[in-house]
Amino acid sequence: MFVADDEGQLLERAKQLDVAALEAIYDLYAPKIHRYLYRRLGDADLAEDMAAQVFLRMLEAIQKGQAWKTSFSGWLYRIAHNLVVDHFRRRSRTRSVSLDDAPPLLAADGDPVEITDRKLAHERLLLAVQQLTHDQAQVVAMRFLEGHSVFEVASVLGKSEGAVKALQYRAVIALRGLMSAQSMEQ
């Protein structure tokens, strides 16, 4: 892990398209971005593809001189979040179901009905998270899905710890209401 000063120097070298610095940044941030995407999407392959897109967009922005202004990691998470939003928007316009998404009929790891219920609950949760504000969704993902502390989330998002706690509280209340409304619709 890099010390903050080392990371700052690394980021400055990355702005100059230093290959070693870009590789180090990828090694440092790719697992975190992949975990974040996987938690939001529930699909490891799709999360891997989108993580690659995040770093591709990062490179394109650096080349155009449109790199981050304050928090580099917050900027990467914002790129990842935007890709997820775009994915769900495209997916909501199409009403087809992939056979790959269907649970196996003969499940070796449990009852197909339970597997389907878990998958549907996960999808409902992902849809509910998509209805939160960007900041609330970021806090939920980073706090509950990735296990970051309030301090870590605050530093990534460039907010105070109190603001992160307030966002978390409002997000949980909103999720509770959204999940309850979804249950009533079914």
**Length of the chain (residues):** 186
User: How would residue 27 be classed by pLDDT, with cut points 50, 70 and 90?
Assistant: very high
The CATH number of the domain covering residues in 108-186? 1.10.10.10
**Rounded distance, CA 25 to CA 136, Å?**
26
- Of 29, 25, 3, the closest CA to residue 14 belongs to 25
Which CATH number among 1.10.1370.30, 1.10.3720.10, 1.10.1740.10, 1.10.10.1150 corresponds to the domain 1-96?
Answer: 1.10.1740.10
* Helix (H) or strand (E) run with residue 104 in it: none
Give pTM, 2 decimals: 0.54
Whether 163 shows a pLDDT value over 90: the answer reads yes
CA distances from 13 to 8, 16, 60, 176 (A): 9, 5, 15, 44
Whether 184 shows a pLDDT value over 80: the answer reads no
